[in-house]
Amino acid sequence: MADKSLDDISEAMRDIDFCMLSTRTDGGAIAARPMSNNREVDYAGDSYFFTCDDARTVSDIESNPKVGLSYQGKGSILGKPGIFIAIEAKADLIKDKHEFEKHWTDGLDRWFEQGVDTPGLTLIHAKAERIHYWDGGEEGEVKI
C-alpha cells in the first residue's frame, strides 16, 4: 500500500478536467455522467458541480445521496497509465445564489448562458467519505 496524502490527490486532480459522477436511479441502476472538475480547485474532500434541477442527476441524489466520483489522470510517455481516483461521497443539492457565485468559473458559461441567474440552476456538493487511488503500481486509501 502506498501513502499518498490529500494534498497529493489534490495536486493530481488539478490536471484532470472531467470526472464521472455516478448515482443510483430509482430503479437501482447505476447512472454516470461527465462533470467538470474545472482544474482550478484545491481539493480538500469537497467537490462542487453545476447542473439543472430537471436533470436526472438531481432526482437520483434526492432519492439516494450516495454518489461516486471517478477520475483518471494522464499517463507518462514511459507507459505509466496515470493515476486513477475513486471517491465515495454523500451529495447534497444547493439552490443558493450566493453559493453559486462562490463556486462559479468563467468556463461554466458554456453550459449555463445566464450564469448564476440560470433558471433551475443547482449546485451539487459531494463530500468525500472514502478516497481510493491507483498510481502505477501503487494503490492506497486517503484518510478523510
Tens-place pLDDT, residues 71-101: 998 765 556 678 899 999 999 999 999 999 9
Locate the DSSP E strands across 14-142. 18-24, 30-36, 46-52, 66-72, 83-94, 121-135, 138-142
Nearest-angstrom CA–CA distance, 9 and 139: 12
Mean pLDDT of 102-129: 92
Contacts of 99 (CB under 8 A, 6+ apart): 123
Phi first, then psi, for residue 33 (nearest 5°) are -150, 150
Q: pLDDT confidence of 132, banded at 50, 70, 90? A: very high
Dist. CA 87–CA 32, nearest whole Å = 14
Taking every pair of Cα atoms in the chain, the longest distance, rounded to a whole number of angstroms, is 47
| Per-residue confidence (pLDDT) for residue 126, from 0 to 100 | 96
pTM of the model: 0.89
pLDDT in the model for residue 78: 59
Structure-block grid coordinates of residue 50: 453545476
**According to the model, what pLDDT value does residue 76 have?**
57
Q: Is the pLDDT of residue 41 over 90?
A: no
Beta strands 138-142 and 121-135 are antiparallel
All structural domains of the chain = 6-139 (2.30.110.10)
